[in-house]
Amino acid sequence: MPQTPDPARELRVVLAGGGTAGHISPMLAIARALESDGAGPVRCTMVGTASGMETRLVPAAGYELDLIERVPMPRRPSMDVVHFPARMRAAVAAAGRILAERRADVVVGVGGYVATPVYLAAFRAGVPVVVHEANARPGLANRIGALRAAHVGTALPDTRLRGARWVGMPMRPEISGLDRAAQRRAARAALGLDLGRTTVVVTGGSSGALAVNRTVRDSLDDLLGAGLQVFHLTGRDKALTEADGTPLRREGYVQREYLDGMEQAYAAADLLVARSGAGTVCEVSAVGLPAVYVPLPIGNGEQALNARPVVEAEGALTVRDDAFGRAWVQRQLIPLATDPERLARMGEAAARFGVRHADVTMAGLVRSAAEEGARR
C-alpha cells in the first residue's frame, strides 16, 4: 500500500522512463521542480533499463537509478511472443519490489519500455500514478498508464489520451527562463559568431541528420551570400569536411558536433532549422524562437504531428525531408531569414503557443496525486 504523505517526512516519488533524452529530460525537470517548489521535503528516485541513456544521464544529474529488464512488445510472430508474458511478469515483480523498497507515495511515468511494468506494479500496490506524454501520438506505455492514472499531462495540445490535460513540456530552467534578447550578444560571443549578423542555427539533434547536413553544405554559399551566418550542430561524427578531410570552413559558418546547453543556441538564433522532436518543438516555442521544422520522414509520422500546432499558430514552418534542398532554401528559407518583421511575428506567435512552466504544473499534479492517494 502507498505510504501516507506526512509533513514531518519527505514525499517519496519514483519516476519511471528512459531510453532517449526525450523521455529523460522531462523526468529530470519534474524531479527538480518537486525539489524546489517549497511544498515540503521530497525524495526522488528513478527507474530505467540498462540499455537506455538514463544509465548515464540520471546519475550525472545526482539521482539514484534502479534498473529493471527492458521488455518491448513483440511486433511480429517470433519466440519473443512466447516469452513475453513471463518476461513482463518478472519485470512487474521487479518494479513492485522497487516501489516497496523505495516506499513510494506516488509514481510518475514519462513513457518508454520501462514505464509499463512500473505502472502495472503501482496499480497492483495501490500507489497513485501520474503520467506525462511528450509526443502528439502517445506510446503504448502511457496509454496503459493513463487508464488508471490520477493525473495525465501532455506536452502538446492535440494529444489524445484518456483523462489528459495540456500542461506543456517540463524543461530545464535554463531554457524555460531564457530571455533571448538579453542573452543574444553573450551567446553569440561564446559560440564564435558575429554579434550583429542575422543568425540561422541548424541542428539535427544530438545524433544529427545527414539529409539536413547535406542541404546545409549544398546551400551554404547561398546562405552566406545573403548576409546570413550559420551555426550548425552536425551531430556526433557527422562533421562537414573539405575534400582533404579537414573541417569545412567559411567566413560566417561555425560548426560543432554537439552543444551542451541548447539555450545558448536558442539565444544566438534569429531562426532555427531542426527536426521536430517534441522536446525541440516545445522548447523552441517556449522561448519564442521562429523555426523551420524538417520532420523525420520515418516512423509513424509523429514528428509532423508534433510540429502541427505551432505551425497552425503561425510560429513555424514545416518542410518535408525530401523537399528540403537547395531550391527550397533559396525560395523559402532565405527570404524568411532576411525578413526581420516576419521573424518577429513568428517569434511572438511561437511564444503565445509555448508553455514555460510545465515542470511546476507537473510537480503540483504529483503532490495532488499523493494527497488523494493518502485519503483513500
Query: φ and ψ at 133, to 5 degrees?
Result: -115, 125
CB atoms under 10 Å from CB of 79, counted, come to 8
Residue 274, beta-bridge partner list: 203, 293
- 109 in Cβ contact with 132 (< 8 Å): yes
Q: In what helix (H) or strand (E) does residue 15 lie, and over which residues does it extend?
A: strand 11-16
Give, in order, the Cα–Cα distances in Å from 306 to each of 116, 254, 309, 311: 23, 28, 7, 10
C-alpha cell at position 111: 513513457
Handedness of CA 16, 22, 24, 28 (dihedral sign): negative
Would you list which residues are annotated within the binding site for UDP-N-acetyl-alpha-D-glucosamine?
A: 20-22, 135, 172, 206, 303
- 271 in Cβ contact with 201 (< 8 Å): yes
C-alpha cell at position 108: 510518475
Q: How far apart are CA 200 and CA 333, in angstroms?
A: 10
pTM beyond 0.85: the answer is yes
- In angstroms and rounded to an integer, the radius of gyration of the C-alpha atoms of the chain is 22
**First and final CA of the chain: distance in angstroms?**
11
CA-wise closest residue to 138 among 128, 123, 149, 124: 149
Q: In what helix (H) or strand (E) does residue 230 lie, and over which residues does it extend?
A: strand 229-233
Query: φ and ψ at 316, to 5 degrees?
Result: -160, 165
Mean pLDDT by 10 residues, the chain (376 residues): 57 92 91 95 96 91 94 64 78 96 97 93 97 93 96 95 95 95 97 97 83 95 98 90 89 93 96 95 97 88 92 96 97 98 98 95 97 76
CA-wise closest residue to 204 among 168, 238, 174: 238
Q: How far apart are CA 355 and CA 107, in angstroms?
A: 24
* Burial (CB count <10 Å: 0-12, 13-18, 19+), residue 62: exposed
Would you list which residues are annotated within the binding site?
A: 20-22, 135, 172, 206, 303
The angle subtended at Cα 266 by Cα 262 and Cα 270, nearest 5°, is 155
DSSP one-letter string for 43-98: EEEEEE-TTSTHHHHHHHTT--EEE----PPP-SSSHHHHHHHHHHHHHHHHHHHH
For the chain, which domains are there?
11-171+356-375 (3.40.50.2000), 178-352 (3.40.50.2000)
Give, in order, the Cα–Cα distances in Å from 373 to each of 31, 82, 130, 296, 326: 19, 36, 11, 40, 57
* Burial (CB count <10 Å: 0-12, 13-18, 19+), residue 88: middle
Give, in order, the Cα–Cα distances in Å from 250 to each of 225, 231, 247, 257, 345: 11, 11, 10, 16, 30
pLDDT at 5: 47
Q: What is the largest CA-CA distance in the chain?
A: 69
